[in-house]
Structure 1
Amino acid sequence: LVKKLHSVNEGLKKFAHVNKKAFEQYSNFTKQRDQLLQRREDLDKSATSIEELVEILDQRKDEAIERTFKQVASNFEEVFEKLVPAGRGRLIIQRRIDQDEEDEDEEAQQSTIDNYTGVSIKVSFNSKVDEGLRIQQLSGVFAIQKCDPAPFYLFDEIDANLDAQYRTAVASMIQSLASTAQFITTTFRPEMLVTADKFYGVLFNNQKVSSIRAIKREEAMEFVDQ
């Protein structure tokens, strides 16, 4: 028995270099691996959810742009027709896929938000270039006001380059929109005064210091007619 025990001990000496904690370390590493794999799986699921959310948000933004544009475009046509009864104006949304096909039916096109590049304006009426440009700009402002009104608007001589018929049309348009917003305008033309509610005159004294005071419509008319 003693010889056999000695023989076994001698045999065990051959395994003296073996890491006695190998099994414990293996168990720990296996557990860590399983935890990392589970974490990776969770992250993959989260990434998928985020990608799906981004796709949904992009789709909603795309739909919101389409919906808002259609509303503004419709308002633009309506406003332009009121300002220029003999003319016609429309907004055209620009996309990368149809930059050379502006007249193609807007309803038949599907795009992502990255495909939008801008908005172009097509108008037809007989008038001076600067006058036509001002009418386009005002039509755009009024169209957006109908869609997303601001509490007040400040216009500085927007009628300066317009003929009398257009000045009258612009004044009438402002009057029709004044129930939902406040419009403050400066002008040297009488047409804008006809539909206004309040009038203020800016005066200069001998020291070239300006002052402002409330005046009557008759005073305002007399001033612009000078």
Structure 2
Amino acid sequence: MQSIFKGAFDDTRDAFNQVFPILFPGGSGSIHLTDPEHLLETGIEVTVKPAGKKIERLSLLSGGERSLAAVALLIAIFKARPSPFYIMDEVEAALDDANLGRLLTIFQDLRESSQLIVITHQKRTMEIADALYGVSMRQDGVSAVVGQRVVTKAEQASA
């Protein structure tokens, strides 16, 4: 159990070191074990320092920065132990336009090897989708689902 945990943590730390600079250009961040001598009882600490700021504690970051740091850790876990699909619920809701663009770059990378199901209200996130499903409530209180497959320019040309 200890060797499996240590291997997974090391892989996640390596992936975090790759993902973090994409989401926080010019910043620095790391994850480390709080008690590396006792792997089955240790915690994991995330340290984030956005470019131009002296803040290192997550509690002192803005809401968008905290959200982005959490997503950086989540994506690092995804990359360390890949899965065929991921479901994310409004992970980009607190992000400004610039940070959203960086996250969408990460999404594009993830979708090379996995299917992403992203619940979102962000138009830019919807624009990179292969299919869209909208859910709304009718006047009688029943949810209605509308689906739309997005056709790429290459698919249009071959049709």
Structure 1: gaps of 5 or more residues: 1-60, 97-110, 218-226
> Residue 120 of structure 1: which of 37, 45, 50 is its match?
45
The whole-number CA distance in structure 2 between the counterparts of 1:156 and 1:196 is 15
**2:33 counterpart residue number:** 93
Is 1:64 the counterpart of 2:4? The answer is yes
More strand by share: 2
- What is the CA distance between 1:112 and its match in structure 2? 4.9
Q: Does 1:129 align with 2:57?
A: no
Q: Aligned partner of 2:107: which letter?
A: I
User: What SS does structure 2 have at the residue aligned with 1:123?
Assistant: strand
1:128 and 1:188 mapped to 2: Cα distance?
Answer: 24
Q: Deviations over 1:109-168 (max 9, x none)?
A: xx3535x42110111115952112211211111111111122322211111111111111
Structure 2 counterpart SS, 1:72: helix
CA radius of gyration, larger in: 1
TM-score by length of 1: 0.57
Correspondence for 1:202 among 111, 135, 148: 135
Counterpart check, 1:147 vs 2:73: no
Tell me how far apart the structure 2 counterparts of residues 122 and 82 of structure 1 sit (CA, whole Å): 16
The 3-state SS of whatever aligns with 2:47 is strand
* CA distance in 1: counterparts of 2:71 and 2:97, whole angstroms: 16
Q: What runs of 5+ residues in structure 2 fail to find an aligned partner? A: 54-59, 151-159
> TM-score under structure 2 normalisation?
0.78
Partner of 1:160: 93
Separation in 2 of the partners of 1:128 and 1:186?
Answer: 25
Number of aligned positions between the proteins = 142
CA distance in 1, matches of 2:137, 2:2: 53
Higher relative contact order (CA 8 A, sep 6+): 2
Contact 1:175 1:196 in 2 (8 A): no
